[in-house]
Structure 1
Amino acid sequence: MLTGEGFVRPTEVAAACVRSAADALLSLPGSPATAGLKPAAQDLLAAVDAFPPPTALADTPGTNSNSGAPQGPPTAARAGWERVSAAADVLRGELQRLGGFHRARARGIVERLTGVTLGTAQETALDVWGAAYGVASGILHGGAASPGEAVRLYTEILGAARELLVPFAVRAARVLELSTLQQPGAAEAAELARWADLRATDYFFRCGPATAWLDVLQEHAPHLLMPDGAVGGRWPAAPFLNHVARKDPNTVRA
């Protein structure tokens, strides 16, 4: 099917199959239905609709007629505006980083399977779902496709599915293998950045990887070395940085 043999529009057929496969995977238990661009827009419209009409605001003066001192907006107006503002912030975030619906679906599945709350690094790893789904949809609806595009999309979805569903026990050998590399490179850093299972990341950093990993990650995946403010400052890389400090203090100071 990916080669397109026997189809009038092979690229569109392959893209439709890839998108259907992604949808099936992201419909597994744990996937939420209240995240993404459409729910954010609906919440904003609901907040706007619930905002007090101008006539209601006019009936409640904002100043004290005797003293002339500002009393602030009426309670109903203030509560309504806070709801509109919060909903607008969510929508703005979805527009700035598209693919939130599919990313949230993947996140719900991972958290249900692992029992671990994901952080920023794992959210970044899950961006592949929205990106691949968007490209497949674009091709399906008439967008141009480069040679081999369907195969590339299939490969991305297959890799993302592995990160989503393969149990940690099966992945442990590869985690250990990477931790023993003495000369890691950009490809290995990219592999770590694709991990959606926080337990794998924690395990890797606690295995005492070679100090050469520090420069590689600083160059190719610096977010993996930082504390995660989104989940209370959790810092998976801290044991590794302590390990490097003991092995090569000059490298840490640099």
Structure 2
Amino acid sequence: MTSFLTHPSLHTFLNCPKLHFSHNPKPLRFTITYASLPARDRIIDFGKYKGRMLGTLPSTYLKWVSNNLRARDFEEWANLADQVLQDPIYNDRVEWEYAQKLLNGDVLNTNSKSESEGIVTDLLEISERFGWDNEDKIGWKKIDFEMLGTSKGGRIPRVKVKKDDELIKSKIDEDRKVELREKRDERRDRVRSRRSIHSENKKIRVKNVVEIESKDERNKNLKGKEKFESNTEVYNPFPGREMLLRKVINRRGIKLDI
């Protein structure tokens, strides 16, 4: 059994103890409450990872502990492994394991591009799937990848999710933009309509002017023709039917009362 002097939580207690004093009229009593460590920061005291924090262990090993050490003195460690696997901070290490396998060559690169380009493409796909913020260089520099999954390892920077107020404001701004766009389109339609009507009216006026000018020109030509015909004597060499009959009758000596 692990004694108090060798217990891993002793170091934390000495650094940041929480002491609560209670005074009674009778003999003075001190009540000491130890600062509890989260499961991810507990140091395992057996196996091949002995001396390491649970949050730094591979997820496959924690799952093995959870599934196989459910008896006697190891049941506590199985329960701690369950807590770590459900810890959102340890989830950063679980996600990073995918990228680590790719970087170590444990995953076959099926990308059609060259090996280096394929790895970069796959890493970008992983980061996009998990919502990592690749632009936050300062946040990535703060990560201690050996301690990732514990309270000392830092967190993987992620694309910030907008809060409800920001979403509402964004929705209002978007609706406002749509409203302004619709009003702008309506103004453009009105301007186009006015221009179209003005153009049609202009065409009609031009057409009427042309028709009037053409009509005046035709009337002018017609009047000039009538005037010319009235002033010009028309010579017709054909004498007419009646005159022709008279000439024939006169030649034959026939008297005809007409």
What's the TM-score, normalizing by structure 1?
0.20
With a CA cutoff of 8 Å and minimum separation of 6, indicate the structure with the bigger relative contact order.
1
Higher helix share: 1
Q: Which has the larger Rg?
A: 2
What's the TM-score, normalizing by structure 2?
0.20
